[in-house]
Amino acid sequence: MNFPLFVARRYLFSKKSTHAINVISMISAIGVAVATMALVIVLSAFNGFHDLVATLFTRFDPQLEITPVMGKTAPADDPLLATVRQMPEVAVGTECVEDNALAVFQDKQAMVTIKGVDDNFKDLANIQSTLYGDGEFCLHAANLNYGILGIQLAQQLGTGTLWTDPLRVYAPIKEGQIDITDPTQGFVVDSLDAPGVVFYVKQTKYDSRYILVPIAWARNLFGEQGMVSSLELRLKEGSDIGAVKKKIAATVGDKYRVRDRYEQQDDTFKIMQIEKLFAYVFLTFILVVACFNIVGSLSMLIIDKRDDVVTLRNLGASDRQIVRVFLFEGRMISVAGAVIGILIGLLLCWLQQQYGLVKLGGSDASFIVNAYPISVHYLDVFLVFLTVVAVGWLAVWYPVRYFSRRLL
């Protein structure tokens, strides 16, 4: 039998000469439980937003994207890219040419991102499900070249889905000298026809800037004949994206960069991870403050049990065993608070997942989801438990040693 643990457990639930000690011990456990609960809920909320954003990116971004390491474009007939297209795991491979340009419609203009894609882009990105209007996904017909605008860009330019006036696109000439007396000669100008649809992927980055066009039209506009900005891939059902990514990276070597969806939106996910880390550190400091209550209750308990300590010494208990009694007392309070806080935190997370208790905004459907998204990652829960236990144990170690030397 562990003698210090046995005595500490008896002390924890026994009556004290001063009722305030019991009250402070209870407040200490509640404080630790509240801080623990906050850690579980906040980290789960960050995980929920992370998972939500990840599902949104799948509507437009490819599963894997291959881009040149040097420069903005690469030859479309590169044997390495041809080898990738022929891999058995690849279901759809789409060549893309992407660059910035100026779009002008009537008296309105906007800086846009022109994305030239193959006709099979609809199979790559399931773009059909994001289209609004009377038409369908079609980039060209006969000698007509269509431009599918993001819905926010269409509103900004005032085009609607069926425009009759020309939508002109200006791109700077990349080679040769420019006549400064006539700056308009420094641009390649072309126009796009109305396809009858706009896309809406619920991401401002795309909805307010992007225009989908035929890849041949984009190559002519930017002077990139026979070149690609990227090769976008959709894998066959059941393929391991991580394993295929490594296989492709080994095939293309250091000439191309292979990125999955998370790496394509690296900035967004890094910001979310940093915010999650700051929230974790901030709440850990609150936990440290909550643990000061444990120090107070232990110091009062040590004073209250001075006569018991004399009795324990007479019965043969060593000073080390007596110190461990009070160490175990503080640690049991912190562990009890951690367990209670985690259980309450998990319960509240479950209630939010099931019933959406905390809403996002009003009822005007201005948000993608109606309630705060929650995703419980049990690795985070384990990290929270370790953090609470570690902070609690460290918080009681020095005070118990100090007060034991002074008071016992």
Residue 408 pLDDT grade (very low, low, confident, very high; cuts 50, 70, 90): low
pLDDT recorded at residue 304: 73
Q: What are the phi and psi torsion angles at 112 (to 5°)?
A: -130, 165
Q: What share of the chain is helix, strand, coil (3-state, %, to 5)?
A: 55, 20, 25
DSSP 159-185: --SS--S-EEEEEE--SS---TT-GGG
pLDDT at residue 356 above 70?
yes
Which residue is it, tokens 């420069």?
Answer: 71
Give the whole-angstrom CA distance, residue 369 versus residue 325: 51
Strand, helix or coil for residue 294: helix
Q: Which of 331-335, 365-369, 385-389 has the lowest mean pLDDT?
A: 365-369
Is 249 exposed, middle or buried, given 0-12, 13-18 or 19+ CB atoms closer than 10 A?
Answer: middle
pLDDT tens by residue, 263-318: 888 888 888 899 999 999 999 999 988 888 888 777 777 777 777 777 777 777 87
Q: What is the pLDDT of residue 359?
A: 85
Residue with tokens 């479309």: 76
Give the model's pLDDT for residue 34.
95
What residues contact 37, with CB distance under 8 A and at least 6 apart?
A: 341, 342, 344, 345, 348
Structure confidence by residue, pLDDT tens digits, 1-60: 576 667 777 666 666 555 667 777 788 889 999 999 999 999 999 999 888 877 766 567
Question: Which segment, 197-201, 215-219, 327-331, is predicted with the most confidence on average?
Answer: 215-219
Query: How much is the average pLDDT of 350-374?
Result: 79
- Return d(Cα 69, Cα 49) in angstroms, integer: 31
Residue, of 142 and 115, whose pLDDT is higher: 115
What's the DSSP call for residue 193?
Answer: B
pLDDT for residue 32: 93
**pLDDT, tens only, 366-385:** 567 788 899 999 999 999 99
Inter-CA distances, 245 with 44, 89, 334, Å: 29, 10, 45
β-strands 197-199, 90-105 pairing: unpaired
Give per-residue pLDDT as tens, 247-261: 999 999 999 999 998
Interatomic CA distance for residues 405 and 408, integer angstroms: 6
Given a cut of 80, whether residue 221 has pLDDT beyond it is yes
Q: Residue 159 has what pLDDT? A: 93
Q: SS3 sequence, 99-122?
A: EEEEEEECCEEEEEEEEEECCCHH
- Angle in degrees, CA 313, 319, 325, rounded to 5: 90
Q: 56 burial class (0-12, 13-18, 19+ CB within 10 angstroms)?
A: middle
Dump pLDDT digits (tens) for 90-121: 999 999 999 999 999 999 999 999 999 998 99
More confident residue, 90 or 164: 90
Are 211 and 145 in contact by the 8 Å Cβ rule? The answer is no
The residue that leads in pLDDT, 348 or 310, is: 348
| Every domain of the chain and the residues it spans | 3-57+268-407, 64-263
Which pLDDT score is estimated for 102? 94
Q: What is the CA radius of gyration of the chain?
A: 32
Q: What is the pLDDT of residue 312?
A: 75
**Residue 5 pLDDT:** 67
C-alpha 257/C-alpha 246 separation (Å) is 11
The overall average pLDDT reported for the chain is 86
State the pLDDT at residue 9. 73
